[in-house]
Structure 1
Amino acid sequence: MRLLTSLLATSGCLAVAWYAAEQNLPAPVDATLRAQMETAASHYSAEILRDEWGIPHVFGVTDADASFGLAYAHAEDDFATIQDVVLATRGRLATHKGWSAIKTDYLVQWMGVWDAVNSGYQQRLTPEGRAMAEAYAAGINLYAVQHPDAVARALLPVTGKDLVAGFTFKTPMFYGFDKALGELLNSEQPLELAVAGDDALSWQPRSNLPIGSQGIAVAPHRSSDGATRLLVNSHQPLTGPVAWYEASIHSDEGLDMAGSTFPGSPVIIHGHNRDVAWANTVNKPDLVDIYRLRINPENANEYRLDGEWVEFERETASMTVKFFGPLHWTFDKDVLRSKHGPVMETEHGVYALRWAGMQESRTLDFMLALNKARNLDDFEAALRLQAMPSINYVYADRAGNIAHYYNAQFPQRIEGWDWSKVLPGDRSELIWQGYRPFVQMPKTVNPVSGLVYNANNPPFQATDGDDDPHVGLFPASMGIESVYTNRALQIEALYGDSVQISPEQFETFKYDADYHPDSYQLTGLNAWLSDAHERFVDTDYAAALEDLRSWSGSFAQTDNLAALAALTLAPFQAANSAQVADTLVDEAFRTAVDDLVDAHGQHRVPFGEVNRHVRGDLSLPLSGAADTLRAVYGGELNDEGFWENRAGDSYVMFISWPEGGEVQSRAVHNFGSATLDTTSPHYADQATLFANEQLRAVYFDRAQIERQAVRRYRPQQYSDSAAGE
């Protein structure tokens, strides 16, 4: 790739670069630095209560106190990931991870993440948002100086800006910014930002791992018992920088949330307080625009715009890379910027990019407003901030309101252009400014049917009644997605058959493991099966093909053909409803049969022997597969003949307000609260519950939490004897 080649071209200055890098890396933790961090932490007072599952419940006088305690608790359980997130958003991950992270460090600087943060931190972010960010940073710093052996040399001190930068950098990735850029750089082998595994937050060849989510809300008049219900069911990698971490946070200033969050987030990302609850699902409208620039043949520093040659703005990105031992090298590369946005030079042309959220620094304000919302008006007021580049919200509250919001920063584009294609870069009217107002956002609020949902489907299918937004009201320039997932079809079918939805149905439907007959997976497979007989009739695969014709469409762990079906369907999953060549499916089918026979002696294998939930010494059978409501994403079979669950269902939470009662919730995490500590009793203590599709109580009231607490402490009172408990 041209980016990599240009970085290597700087090797003539390596010796000088190594010396400069070593001189500029922060010193290891010493007594002075520890005293500074402890002094900063002394401004906060947080108490952490851990229940029998190790889940932290954080209490503080102020919201900032609670944020400080949340950071400390999360660092106890997953400091390494938080550290990687901070280094990545600084553009310094290669100082710790080495060469694999250099493109990520360049990307952060190329995107202008820190230009946005530095210009917006004081001017655009509220004092309340800054206080939360700085308190969270203080919590990380305190844990770091108490555990100096775990600290990368480039980490300390963590600042509030680091946390704000994390939102600016990561939120566009949820709607696919990294994939759009990866396709531009390498169309034959597109890249994306890895989010799980040892190379998390580095650029990798695209995995084609389709990660979804679902949120479902039922109003009181649709519930058999008059309760309001919400399912929180985001599908994420099970480990890494966007894996869920469960906590509750409480303060005397109004924070009172239970749910889950990501490493580096000072607030709960989805869950509930006493009055409102919400679930997040990824949406992927077209929010990235690519412009092909015409370069002056006589001056490569100029591009054509409105009939004139305009000079690029020019900056320098510096990437410091760890090679071995103390040896670090620094590479410099120019970053060009046009009126459209940052510029990327490729082998097939020069392009500028513009995307939703490219200068956004207020996302933490938005998320804090959600955490402190007390009714539907408060929730919509937060959405009106337009500080989150994308993400669907499925909402419910104690008053019985339910809603779905297809939230995004929709650019104010002019009509008449196909914004999904490369645009001419010489016309300034195509350089959009600002976003469409909240009133133009697709939304479904309190539909007559009493049901709203989203499973990564278009907003025009948001309820099982007739109150969905009408597609004709939303112009093509908004770039709203059009793929209907199997999960959306199944939700409509399951819930639509129930005039009244019981508590048992609400839970049972979530764990459905079937494909809908109209899903693109089954329609594609059936079309392939219709003429596959001729190609396999006189082969060793004929019997397996006939068996596959009889498959029920279920991924229950007892189904003997689900493994064969899942492996054969892989090309359809990767294509995400696009046309798939028969030759690709033929090869997937042959490989599926061969691999199953090699590993298990036959192609008919109980699905639970192949579909496994693995954590430490545990290996548990699972139902569910890609794009089922019981979402499980594995991959190719390993040498032992099974695939390991890597993404999908992770943190699952059921929330309800009984008629006239207080909020109640139950949940389960895919593994447990101790993300990395294999010696902790909470490393895998929820894995069996998760595999068995069971839930546990969520403790929310202070008195209830105190009764269940097995450890109670303040971060400043850390002692070595408490580590790992």
Structure 2
Amino acid sequence: MVGWLSLPPSLKRQVEAGNYLTLGAQYDVEILRDRWGVPHIYGNSDADTAFGLAYAHAEDDFATIQDVILATRGQLAAERGISAAKTDYLVAWMGVWEAVEAGYAALPQSTRAVAEAYADGINLYAARNPGTASRYLLPVRGEDLIAGFTFKTPMFYGFDAVLGELLSAEAPLELARDGEAALSWVPCQHLPIGSQGIAVAPARSDDGATRLLINSHQPLTGPVAWYEARLHSEEGWNVAGSTFPGAPAIIHGHNAKVGWANTVNKPDLVDIYQLELNPQNPGQYRLDGEWRDFEVREAQILVRLLGPLHWTFKRDIKLAEHGPVMETEHGSYALRWAGMGEIRTLDFLLGINKAQNRQEFEQALKMQAMPSINYVYADANGEIGHYYNAQFPNRIEGWDWNKVLPGDRSELIWEGYRTFEAMPRTVNPQTGLVYNANNPPFQATDGDDDPRLVDFPPSMGIESVVTNRALQVEALYGADARISAAEFERYKYDFRYHPDSYQMRALQGWLAAQNGVELTGEQRSAIELLRNWGGATDAGNRAAALAVLTLAPVQDENSEHVAQEKLSAAFERAVADLQQFYGRVDVPFGEVNRHVRGSFSLPLNGGPDTLRAVYGGPLNDSGRFENRAGDSYVMFVEWDAAGQVSSRAVHNFGSATLDKTSPHYADQVPLFVEEKVRPVPFQRAVLESQVSRRYRP
């Protein structure tokens, strides 16, 4: 890669441009856009289909795909300037390209063919639209797409947040809560973004059907926003669902036989080691009583300054036995994390895309190529399951792995991961219900056959926070002995906080502490409004805006244990802001909580950590929440009693991500706001009656 990148961009374009424009002739693929603009890709081979997916996605969101690729290469600062330099440095620091270059040739040829065909789809689009392409983009290669997973997947369990905390000015004896964001472009998990997946078996449904809810909560725009597609090849790839920019497979969705939903899980998968440096030689660190030399590699980052002016920033990266080293104001630390050097993620995704039953789905999970992510599973045979998937490090017991570890003991440098058999999972529970809403795996069904906490060692670092959404799943789905299709859908759009949620417990505790506190007249009225609030966040609720604003510190910390002073300050700001913008505190929530796209600005039900998840705060200059994350792509999948699949879905905006002139820029907004979904034409015969555009790239 380095040799090609060292060529002047103008020479690269001269050498390659002619070849790009002929790429379409190499692939046998047809793209059919349905009435909503969603691309249905029909290719002869898997590679043909991947080529079509890339081209269709580029038509709708080329700029984001390009940014994803440049960031993955560590070239974003060359295009964006100094603000992106930290991202480029992190790519180098993580050793992304060392891993890809060492292992790419060993990937299955079929996986490399998919990655390379997807790259060709981007190359063709860029060649046909040269005014939109960065001079640093071409050529896109299969390695770029593989490297994207190596770089981004650790971020989903919070790797970026750990780095930010490490860079805090405080010495992280137990990591500081606040710190500088380690990434300037890849989205850090600042929003308390959740997800939910729910499945019911035939015995739990009222008509013998198997049902699956796919409901990941992501930012509504950007590099990890959902893009819907339908993929079909004559080699057995036959799947519908959604994916991310730069990802050559469906990330969550269904095929004819199986379906799966993703939710974020955040076990402790990062270890930090404080190093003792040799006072006589800063190029050495102590390990097992001896001084060891750091390995050193150089990061070279090209940074755009003004106009055509660029500057190459060079910095050494030190490597200890544990992993790469961060040098901070309070010491030097080596890091080791799940997913270090992992390049098989696309191979895994293709495996689950093509799985035809639970055994094949589990066979893909056994690869242990996805560093984290829960999977809620259902299939045509009526089997369901929840898998608390992660690469759990082979740590020794007896240490608190949540804290910074001594860097001078080699027994703490773990190698490899626990096997699939060690993974907490709930498969075919007796009650016929499984779910996950970012809660611990010990709460995965409404019966007694969940995994037991005592069976899993502390070194696995399994999370413990119970979300409001998990409590509401139990209260709604769990209380229904025979769940109909209508109930399965209606429960998903619940907008309430459970009385036992940490949000409601925190609020009640704070309200109790306000007895006897000196308040203004406006504040006393607001307190009474909160006392009478039932925990609902529907658009007509007159206490929800005040409550959501007051509870912002609780939501930020995902805990009821928040200093009373923080809640009091949030309450005072909420009262003042609502008075300023609306002249009262009992404003209907829908006036504040808005879904905005193009010419649309519509009221929404839902709030943070409700099943109808909406994350829109803080208030903007107009005194409103503009929905930014949460419910985005929602899909309901069903296998009837005969095992025939059907699905319905909705996107938060539409298939045209960036083109404001497209009819599909915001055409799904009314459906999304009204909590409705549309049929997904999974069978080509059904699709043919609603094709809006048909073409071959």
Q: Quickly name the TM-score band, shorter chain normalised.
A: over 0.9
The answer (yes or no) to whether the contact 1:295–1:304 under 8 Å persists in 2 is yes
Change (3 A) 1:699 1:536: farther
Q: Does 1:425 align with 2:414?
A: no
- Report the Cα offset of residue 28 of structure 1: 7.9
Q: Could you tell me which residue of structure 2 aligns to residue 531 of structure 1?
A: 513
Cα distance between partner residues in 1 of 2:197 and 2:257: 18
Q: Could you tell me which residue of structure 1 aligns to residue 83 of structure 2?
A: 100
| One-letter identity of the residue aligned with 1:670 | N
Please state whether the residue corresponding to 2:208 is helix, strand or coil.
Answer: coil
- Report the Cα offset of residue 538 of structure 1: 4.9
Q: Does 1:521 align with 2:510?
A: no
Q: Does 1:259 align with 2:241?
A: yes
The answer (yes or no) to whether the contact 1:514–1:553 under 8 Å persists in 2 is yes
Q: Could you tell me which residue of structure 2 aligns to residue 454 of structure 1?
A: 436
**Equivalent residue in structure 2 for 1:63, among 46, 52, 58:** 46
| One-letter identity of the residue aligned with 2:141 | T
Please state whether the residue corresponding to 1:483 is helix, strand or coil.
Answer: coil
**Equivalent residue in structure 2 for 1:201, among 175, 180, 186:** 186
| One-letter identity of the residue aligned with 1:82 | I
- Report the Cα offset of residue 26 of structure 1: 1.2
Cα distance between partner residues in 2 of 1:380 and 1:207: 28
Q: Does 1:639 align with 2:624?
A: no
The answer (yes or no) to whether the contact 2:146–2:346 under 8 Å persists in 1 is yes
Cα distance between partner residues in 1 of 2:9 and 2:434: 51
Structure 2 unaligned regions, length at least 5: 169-175
Please state whether the residue corresponding to 1:81 is helix, strand or coil.
Answer: helix
* Aligned counterparts, 1:87-486, within 5 A: 87-123=70-106, 125-186=107-168, 187=176, 189-192=178-181, 200-201=185-186, 208-486=190-468
Q: C-alpha offsets along residues 394-446 of structure 1, whole Å, 9 cap, x if unaligned? A: 00000000000000000000000000000000000000000000011000000
Q: C-alpha offsets along residues 589-621 of structure 1, whole Å, 9 cap, x if unaligned? A: 011011111111100011111000000111010
Q: C-alpha offsets along residues 510-557 of structure 1, whole Å, 9 cap, x if unaligned? A: 000000011000000100000113224455311111111100100011
Q: Does 1:51 align with 2:51?
A: no
Q: Could you tell me which residue of structure 2 aligns to residue 81 of structure 1?
A: 64
Q: Could you tell me which residue of structure 1 aligns to residue 687 of structure 2?
A: 705
Q: Could you tell me which residue of structure 2 aligns to residue 34 of structure 1?
A: 17
Q: Could you tell me which residue of structure 1 aligns to residue 55 of structure 2?
A: 72
Cα distance between partner residues in 2 of 1:538 and 1:215: 45
Change (3 A) 1:193 1:557: farther
Q: Could you tell me which residue of structure 1 aligns to residue 585 of structure 2?
A: 603
- Report the Cα offset of residue 153 of structure 1: 1.1
Please state whether the residue corresponding to 1:571 is helix, strand or coil.
Answer: helix
Q: Could you tell me which residue of structure 1 aligns to residue 610 of structure 2?
A: 628
Structure 1 unaligned regions, length at least 5: 1-19, 716-725
Q: Could you tell me which residue of structure 2 aligns to residue 13 of structure 1?
A: none
Q: Could you tell me which residue of structure 2 aligns to residue 6 of structure 1?
A: none
Worse overlay, 495-504 or 401-410: 495-504
- Report the Cα offset of residue 21 of structure 1: 13
| One-letter identity of the residue aligned with 2:77 | A
Q: Could you tell me which residue of structure 1 aligns to residue 173 of structure 2?
A: none
**Equivalent residue in structure 2 for 1:508, among 490, 499, 510:** 490
Please state whether the residue corresponding to 1:178 is helix, strand or coil.
Answer: helix
Cα distance between partner residues in 2 of 1:689 and 1:30: 44
Q: Does 1:590 align with 2:572?
A: yes
Cα distance between partner residues in 2 of 1:216 and 1:25: 51
Cα distance between partner residues in 2 of 1:513 and 1:200: 32
* Aligned counterparts, 1:658-669, within 5 A: 658-669=640-651
- Report the Cα offset of residue 34 of structure 1: 2.5
Q: TM-score, normalised by structure 2?
A: 0.97
The answer (yes or no) to whether the contact 1:25–1:154 under 8 Å persists in 2 is no
Q: Does 1:580 align with 2:562?
A: yes
Q: C-alpha offsets along residues 542-594 of structure 1, whole Å, 9 cap, x if unaligned? A: 11111111001000111011000000000100111162111111110011011
Change (3 A) 1:592 1:178: same
Cα distance between partner residues in 2 of 1:401 and 1:567: 42
Cα distance between partner residues in 1 of 2:435 and 2:66: 35
Please state whether the residue corresponding to 1:590 is helix, strand or coil.
Answer: helix
Change (3 A) 1:697 1:151: same
Across the aligned residues of Structure 1 and Structure 2, the Cα RMSD in angstroms comes to: 1.5
Worse overlay, 228-237 or 531-540: 531-540
Please state whether the residue corresponding to 2:98 is helix, strand or coil.
Answer: helix
Q: TM-score, normalised by structure 1?
A: 0.93
The answer (yes or no) to whether the contact 1:101–1:201 under 8 Å persists in 2 is no
The answer (yes or no) to whether the contact 2:505–2:560 under 8 Å persists in 1 is no
Give % identity: 64
- Report the Cα offset of residue 25 of structure 1: 4.2
Cα distance between partner residues in 2 of 1:510 and 1:423: 42
Q: C-alpha offsets along residues 473-496 of structure 1, whole Å, 9 cap, x if unaligned? A: 000000000000000000011112
The answer (yes or no) to whether the contact 1:236–1:650 under 8 Å persists in 2 is yes
The answer (yes or no) to whether the contact 1:21–1:329 under 8 Å persists in 2 is no
Q: Could you tell me which residue of structure 2 aligns to residue 14 of structure 1?
A: none
| One-letter identity of the residue aligned with 1:607 | F
| One-letter identity of the residue aligned with 2:198 | I
Change (3 A) 1:684 1:28: farther
The answer (yes or no) to whether the contact 2:522–2:575 under 8 Å persists in 1 is no
